[in-house]
Amino acid sequence: MARWEDGREKEARLKPGPTGDSGVAAAEVEFERYEMREGAVHQFELQRRDFFKALGGGIAILVAVRAPLATAVAAQESGGRGRRGSEEIPETVGAWLHVGEDGGVSVFTGKVEIGQNIRTSLAQAVAEELRVPLASIRMTMGDTEKVPFDMGTFGSRSTPTMGLQLRRAASAAKDVLIDLAAKKWGVERDKLAAEDARVHDPRSGRTASYAELATGQQFSQTIPEEDPLIAPAKWTIAGKSIEKVIGRDFVTGQHRYPSDTALPGMLFGKIVRPSAFGATLISVDAKDAKAMDGVTCVTDGDFIGVAAPSEYLAAQAAKRIHAEWKSSPQPSSDGIFDYLKTHRGKGQDYDEPKPQVAGSIESGLAAADVKLQQTYAVAYIAHTPLEPRAAVAEWKDGALTVWTGTQRPFAVRDDLAQTFHLSRERVRVLMPDMGSGYGGKHTAECAIEAARLARASGKPVKLVWTREEEFTWAYFRPAALIEISSGATHDGSVTAWEFHNYNSGSSGIATPYDIANQKIEFHPSDSPLRQGSYRGLAATANHFARETHMDELARAVKMDALEFRRRNLKDARLLAVFEAAAKAFGWSDRKKEAGRGFGIAGGVEKGGYLATCAEVRVDSASGEVKVERLVSAFECGAIVNPEHLRNQVEGAMVMGMGGALFEAIEFADGKITNPHFAQYRVPRFGDMPKIEAVLVDRKDLPSAGAGETPIMGVAPAIGSAIFDASGVRLRAMPLVPKGLKTAKA
């Protein structure tokens, strides 16, 4: 069976389990199948004696997470006596930190840094609770040998889940240090305070540094998640715009990304790809390549690859391999939406999604003065992280180490272990801060390929996918076909809302509007392309359809688009961002002129509240559409780092413009036909409108993630603005891949 088929089968096998990220998010966030998650709870292998051996003496705090397969671990007395003896650590440790004898703070988390700046924001959270300078914190992230198991960095969970766990660990460590000082001085602990990495006794003026207090200790404690925390309103380190940590390395070219990893004697890999998805190998002739000096060829089933002493030689060797493939006809991007509607997903063993129903659509429509029925479509798009998939694999004494760019180091470790029939303990995956992911780097293909070549050649091998491979052999954001049928009264109340999403997923599928009669359903399709996570998942498609339709309904009842939302919203947080965006944008003062249009859209997803306003200019002669201005208001609870949050919101808007305006994967017969930046247009400098992010800081609410949700409002706001400017309603993303005229035709 082709590896392509293997990959697809594997996705289909993934079963939505009862747990969310790290087992704590289940109640808060609904995950969907395309997030590619697994439900297992894993052993944290590092033993107590090992981490003191590795880090020296000091104070270690481990955070036990709630998980369905393990009972919550109660607070332990000093000495770290776990339930099964002093040397054992509970199975469900989510994160841990260590205060060393030099006062340095080492933080260990399975979350990874991919440009969202959690290396900075998580360190800020620890510094805040522990009362230490930011510079004393060392973050170890995504190294499967050193950090506790983590499901992966996705679903906007790093801030609400890992941020909270680390804050609690830091808070507990501070308490331990205060206890130590209290014991040392023979005073009551609640008379003492901690600040700037020292414990102070205000009455006597005595102070002791954390380093002094930690020296000679081998103290470990496992804490539950519910420890008191510093209220965001009192934050002094968190909540501030602190520069990206190790930022200097990034502007000087010194930071080592996964693709920059180099080992002595390392070879360079190159894969010979099948002619099309699902193609099977008929014959292969590798003798010319095998004759080259220093070149290793691997032909194993449908896998064909080479390893050579230089990238250039690897490419030359791959060219000299003559492979013949057999492929079969497959659906193409033309006609894909009919295909998705008529080809229901099959062979899946996950729970069938059930429609969400309230009231009765029939009676809702009967009560309506205006009825609308429309179909919306969203094309497959590619993540195109600027750093393609990359891996360096090294075998030593039967154990495998792989440096690779991934959002799920532990999943990659498990895939490697399974592929090479190794125990997990024999596989280590390290994830240096990588060149972005956007949900696109959840899988292990590149790591497995590099490891195969390294095993065959007996040397470490680096494999970096080409841009064309990245466009072709990764996975895509699912295409969507969405049908909406609705009704509203003349006074602007939506009375009926029926919503069907084919293929793209259930994220953000619920309407935030207060509608008595609803039926909302996700229908899995048999996607011809491999598809998976993407920033915001299906929420972008669902928001595009829903908010565009709301704009159409508003116009049908002759009501201002913002007023129409007010009329149907009870959610105060969503209303607040609509008002904030409208105010910053000047929605009520907007001046209508020929060729200029305005649109507004919003929604709630993953704990973040968003509203976006757009202004576009349409050149009626050329059909050119220029987005002139985007304003988004975003609220995600208490803000941890305002400048980095602003950057995320702006970046999500820019990325959202690509899918909104021109990004689309084209394919036919198992081949991607536009797998290059010259053919697949992504946003560039010249596409930039004036962009403004309005941040609504709610210090009274827990922090939510922010990397994904701000992408969702861009397409519907722009689409409605194009209608406002031109009278042309566009219901397919991308809206104007070739300008408005083509779109009209």
The footprint of other proteins (CB under 8 A) covers 114-117, 243-244, 247-248, 250-257, 259-260, 262, 268, 310-313, 384-388, 433-436, 438, 464, 466-467, 643-644, 647-648, 650-655, 676-678, 682-686, 688, 691
Minimum CB–partner distance for residue 376 and other proteins (Å): 24
Sheet-wide strand order for 608-618: 596-605, 608-618, 625-635, 690-696
Minimum CB–partner distance for residue 657 and other proteins (Å): 8
- CA separation for the pair 691, 714 (Å, rounded): 11
Minimum CB–partner distance for residue 737 and other proteins (Å): 18
Minimum CB–partner distance for residue 267 and other proteins (Å): 11
Nearer residue to other proteins within complex by CB, 114 or 453: 114
CB-neighbour burial class of residue 733 (10 A; exposed 0-12, middle 13-18, buried 19+) = buried
Cβ partners under 8 Å of residue 30, min gap 6: 506, 507
Minimum CB–partner distance for residue 492 and other proteins (Å): 35
Nearer residue to other proteins within complex by CB, 240 or 341: 240
Nearer residue to other proteins within complex by CB, 38 or 387: 387
- CA separation for the pair 467, 383 (Å, rounded): 11
- CA separation for the pair 362, 364 (Å, rounded): 5
Nearer residue to other proteins within complex by CB, 360 or 466: 466
- CA separation for the pair 563, 617 (Å, rounded): 23
Minimum CB–partner distance for residue 700 and other proteins (Å): 27
Minimum CB–partner distance for residue 560 and other proteins (Å): 29
Helix (H) or strand (E) holding 654: helix 642-661
Nearer residue to other proteins within complex by CB, 353 or 658: 658
Q: Please state, in angstroms and as integers, the Cα–Cα distance from residue 226 to each residue in 66, 110, 232, 628, following that order.
A: 10, 20, 16, 47
Nearer residue to other proteins within complex by CB, 82 or 388: 388
Report yes or no: 182 and 16 within 8 Å, Cβ to Cβ. no
Nearer residue to other proteins within complex by CB, 332 or 466: 466
Nearer residue to other proteins within complex by CB, 210 or 403: 403
State which amino acid sits at residue 569. Answer: L
Nearer residue to other proteins within complex by CB, 79 or 312: 312
Among left, alpha and beta (phi > 0; psi -120 to 50; other), residue 80 is left
State which amino acid sits at residue 339. Answer: Y
Name the token pair of 603: 């929604």
DSSP at 159: I
Name the token pair of 653: 């808007």
Minimum CB–partner distance for residue 304 and other proteins (Å): 20
Name the token pair of 586: 């000047």
Report yes or no: 605 and 541 within 8 Å, Cβ to Cβ. no
Nearer residue to other proteins within complex by CB, 253 or 398: 253
Distance of CA 574 to the CA centre of its chain: 23
- Establish how many alpha carbons lie within 13 A of residue 226's alpha carbon, considering only the half-sphere containing its beta carbon: 5
Minimum CB–partner distance for residue 477 and other proteins (Å): 14
Nearer residue to other proteins within complex by CB, 91 or 469: 469
Nearer residue to other proteins within complex by CB, 462 or 565: 462
- CA separation for the pair 224, 445 (Å, rounded): 36
Minimum CB–partner distance for residue 20 and other proteins (Å): 25
Nearer residue to other proteins within complex by CB, 260 or 560: 260
Cβ partners under 8 Å of residue 509, min gap 6: 356, 499, 501, 520, 522, 538, 542
Minimum CB–partner distance for residue 252 and other proteins (Å): 5
Cβ partners under 8 Å of residue 488, min gap 6: 368, 369, 370, 494, 495, 553, 556, 557
Q: Please state, in angstroms and as integers, the Cα–Cα distance from residue 545 to each residue in 360, 361, 494, following that order.
A: 21, 18, 16
The residues with which 63 forms a beta bridge, in sequence order, are: 95, 223
Minimum CB–partner distance for residue 123 and other proteins (Å): 16
Minimum CB–partner distance for residue 586 and other proteins (Å): 19
Closest CA to 408 of 107, 35, 5, 718: 35
Name the token pair of 305: 């690859």
Closest CA to 623 of 666, 661, 677, 679: 661
Minimum CB–partner distance for residue 115 and other proteins (Å): 3
Name the token pair of 561: 């688009």
Nearer residue to other proteins within complex by CB, 7 or 269: 269
Minimum CB–partner distance for residue 563 and other proteins (Å): 31
Minimum CB–partner distance for residue 543 and other proteins (Å): 18
Minimum CB–partner distance for residue 615 and other proteins (Å): 16
Sheet-wide strand order for 193-195: 193-195, 198-201, 206-209
DSSP string, 552-587: HHHHHTT--HHHHHHHH---HHHHHHHHHHHHHHTG
Do the bridges between strand 480-488 and strand 370-378 make them parallel or antiparallel, or are there none, so unpaired? Answer: antiparallel
Nearer residue to other proteins within complex by CB, 572 or 678: 678
Nearer residue to other proteins within complex by CB, 259 or 503: 259
Nearer residue to other proteins within complex by CB, 12 or 263: 263
Q: What b-and-e string marks burial along 327-357, b requiring 16 or more CB atoms within 10 Å of the CB?
A: beeebbbeebbebbbebebeebeeeebeeee
